[in-house]
Amino acid sequence: MPLLLYLVCLSAAQAPDLNLLQRYSQEGERALAEHRYADAEKAYEKLRELSPGTAEVHAGLGLIYYQQRKFAEAVPALRQALKLNPKLPRTDILLALCLSELGQYQEALAGLGKAFKQTADDPLRRLAGLQLQRAYTQLEQDGKAAEIALQLTRLYPTDPEVLYHAGRLLSNYAYLMTMKLARLAPESPWTHQAAGEANESQGLYDPAIREYRAVLAADPRRPGIHFRIGRTLLARAAATPEEGPAAAFRAEAVNEFEQERALDPANATAAYELGEIHRRAGDLEEARKLFEAAVEHYPDFEQAQLGLGRVLLATGKLEPALAHLRKAIALDPENDVSYYQLSRAYQALGNAAGQQDALAKSRALRAKRQRTDAAVLPLQVTKQELESKEGPP
């Protein structure tokens, strides 16, 4: 029932001034619709004086207080509304949001959880989810907070606010779990591996390698550790200006990747890294074999598809090269290097229109990548890049 009609019916029993009810009701609803919350507040406060037993008036006033971030004033108004009519829609949710804003997280949990699970109102569900994540965090229920964060990212995968809070929370949760691991099992191989990965991500190459070696000392056949050492050595080589020491680090990396493949012949990432090292050294035949091994075990490995495509292109196998380059683009349509290699393949085939189209896409994507490179996560494998002799597209 509309608020005005409800008040009119109520006035028949309580006989307040009907004209005043109509006036303040119309003023309040109009001001609320126009987001003039201060004016709406005045009108609804007058309505509350005239009709204190009307639940909808208290609920409306609670909403107005909420919109003005007057959460302390909103809570008693919403409580009174629910006392008068416990079935008022969404009022319990609004009360939970206000309680959360006031730091009364334990009391807010039930309403927030209900809203997040049941409401069909998508903006309200999103808001309740963010507040529920915050409440669990403040109550140090980190596991539940992480669960809500993951649910929110599935529901709103492109929402900047959701992504920001989820990233911040999950990063902190990972840190807490790592600290717990170190406290409970300081000499565990898992603790050494976590420390190695943390050092590697910060560019602390020698400490990272020491931690990875400690893992192998405890568990010589643990999958992935030789690969991590190899990746760390490649990063160290890239950070070393003198070619002699850099070459020595790359040679060590080759040995680690080969050991990884000896333990796990199906390890596509180790095969890829070896293939890329051979490609950059000009040993295209060995690079081809290794890239083929990588895509055989992991067909959706975009970087390996791209690496294989450019090796085939360099050796004149144009049609097979096209197939692998197109596969790489299908896996990652945002990679400018794939489009650049595709443009070279089209050029070799005499397809001028295809060449120009692929080159234009490469240039646009390269400009976009240069704007966003600073925000990307640490690399998991060596990325295919344009070489100096190829020049920028």
Q: Which of 10, 2, 69 is nearest to 37 (CA)?
A: 69
One domain for residues 193 and 217: yes
Query: Do the beta carbons of residue 60 and residue 10 sit within 8 Å?
Result: no
pLDDT for position 373: 55
Q: 50 or 307: whose pLDDT is higher? A: 307
pLDDT for position 1: 44
- Answer whether residue 141 is part of any domain: yes
- pTM of the prediction? 0.69
List, in sequence order, the alpha helices (H) in the chain.
Answer: 3-14, 18-33, 37-50, 55-67, 71-84, 91-101, 105-118, 122-138, 142-155, 160-184, 189-201, 205-218, 225-238, 243-263, 268-280, 284-297, 302-314, 318-331, 336-349, 352-372
pLDDT for position 231: 97
Provide the domain limits for residue 65: 3-157
One domain for residues 13 and 144: yes
Residue 263, C-beta contacts closer than 8 angstroms, at least 6 positions apart: 221, 223, 226
Query: Do the beta carbons of residue 231 and residue 257 sit within 8 Å?
Result: no
CATH number of the domain that residue 253 is part of: 1.25.40
CATH number of the domain that residue 313 is part of: 1.25.40.10
Mean pLDDT of 86-102: 93
- pLDDT (tens digit per residue) in 240-290: 999 999 999 999 999 999 999 999 999 999 999 999 999 999 999 999 999
Task: List the structure tokens of 87.
Answer: 């079935």
pLDDT at 315 over 60: yes
- Answer whether residue 174 is part of any domain: no
- Answer whether residue 179 is part of any domain: no
